[in-house]
Chains A and B, each alone.
Chain A
Amino acid sequence: MSAAVPVLEVQGVTKAYGDVEVLRGVDLAVREHEAIALIGASGSGKSTLLRCIDLLEDIDDGDVLLDGEVITDPSMNPVQARRRLAMVFQAYNLFPHLSVIDNVLLAPSRAHGFDREEAAESARELLRRFGLGDREGDYPDRLSGGQQQRVAIVRALATRPRALLLDEITSALDPELVGEVLEVVRELKEEGMTMLIATHEMGFARDVADEVCFLHDGRILERGEPGRVLADPQQPETQRFLHRLLSAGRT
């Protein structure tokens, strides 16, 4: 299994906005059924890395491979690649003019060409599973933050992605709503969903991730088993970062 081609591979990716280098050569691989947690301070490049992988940003150098295929190749159609990935955003980014069910069904029916009836059936099943069965007709602004983020996760899953990119999906939530969203991700992990997770929740990273990568200043400074990296970090920057989180009570 470990010999198989990784689902996602990031090779030497660099990205700068003007003079500001946000990513300075990132290497990363996510294998089938693996969950990798990206940790690091705000501004360390976690979100940018996820956006580059989802081809929402152009990269300057390096490559991103999906199932062994270079999706960052200029000759590749980015739309085709994005259809095989799905991303969940920090601020949910639900479509406020569409009801919950229409939010979920927009991409399957319009972009993926799934049969609308079938897509609706599986969308309802997903909504029911994540406790949103009675909300399909509601508009997003009638839902709590936790419910909105769960809808966003269902919307991403409805496109049947090869891998899920989660961009600090609990950072905008009230503390009491964080748990219900993380529970969903735990369930997805148990089912074997391949995931790359940018997060500030260290306890969650320890539970769910197969590997933790500490991103600092556009590079991955340290990586390894969550238990090892989080409990016994080798790099001084990692130690400092974790210490700051610890003193802020976020472990």
Chain B
Amino acid sequence: MDGRRRGRTGAEVLSQTRPAEPRSGGRGRRAVREAARRRRAAQGAAISGLSTVVVLGGLAALILTSKGWPNVRDTFFDWDAFKDSFPDVLHGFWLDVKIFVVVEIVVLVLGLVVALVRASRAPTFFPFRILAASYTDIFRGLPVILVVYLIGFGVPALELSGVPSDPVVLGGFALALCYGAYVAEVYRAGIESIHPSQTSAALSLGLTPGQSTRFVVLPQAIRRVIPPLLNDFIALQKDVALVSILGPLEAFRVAQISASSTFNYTPLLAAAVLYLAVTIPMARLVDRATARDRLLRSAGAAV
């Protein structure tokens, strides 16, 4: 009986709305359960459809009937203004993308170096460990906008020769400092999550401590922290807009200028659309990476 049940495919089970021949009691019960399950599913679909209409419709009604809506519609949702400003904003967004890509690479390397220094045990590294720990403490504790200000305006004020004064470079440097601290902690959590027995095994096979980190600990640690790393990159993508306070014409800045010259805020919406066009696919990527990680781990645990 059991064997026959398992042998049946899902489609066969579904197509069998009612037991054609209710000979066996077991099969009859099965049909009853099947019917009940279908009834519950239909009920569920109806209720969620209704609640969606009520909630979203209510919200839309609330906004569309508000006193200021015609005004808001004209200043934020002006299709012509959107069309006019979009090319400029897009051009500005290209700068965001460039800053983001360079900063992200710097952050990945900086974070890894800081994490490795903090995880090291060698006595010669002691002063570097202190430096690395203070670095993460300070830059994780400061608002990004403050660091962008301090670096963007403070460093040029020093008037040091050879130090770049380009606001894009300084802004990117400030972002890299802040996000490097976060990413260092993410790496460190990954490194610490690898059980010490892995290091024992590597050392007992004759690998040096450095080789055991490089070939055994890090590959596993980095795989584990890919989802949180991607999460930090979504945050970084948005925060690139903070560089605008130093003057570079990136998307937000362009939209702002356009808005204040036409008294129409639609260009900001154009910038928002562009940010979302990058961050939402990234968020889906995080979801997929997280799901795959969970699957892999549960598969590993099940064996």
**A residues within 8 Å of B by Cβ?**
51, 54, 56, 79, 82-83, 85-87, 89, 91, 93-97, 106-107, 110-112, 141-144, 155-156, 159, 165
Contact = CB atoms under 8 A, between A and B. Distances in A.
Interface residues of B, number: 20
Given A97-B223, A107-B206, 19 more contacts: A51-B200, A54-B204, A79-B207, A82-B204, A83-B206, A86-B204, A87-B204, A89-B197, A91-B197, A93-B197, A95-B198, A97-B220, A106-B207, A106-B215, A107-B205, A111-B208, A141-B303, A142-B303, A144-B303
A93 to B, nearest CB: 4
B55 interface: no
A142 B300 CA distance: 8
Contacts, number: 67
A141 B300 contact: yes
A228 to B, nearest CB: 32
A83 B215 CA distance: 17
B299 interface: yes
Nearest to A142: B303
Contacts of A89: 197, 200-201
A128 B202 CA distance: 23
Contacts of B208: 79, 111
19 contacts: A56-B200, A79-B203, A79-B208, A86-B205, A87-B201, A89-B200, A89-B201, A93-B198, A93-B200, A94-B201, A96-B300, A97-B220, A106-B216, A107-B205, A141-B299, A141-B300, A142-B303, A156-B205, A165-B204
B58 interface: no
Contacts of A112: 206
A107 B216 CA distance: 11
B204 to A, nearest CB: 4
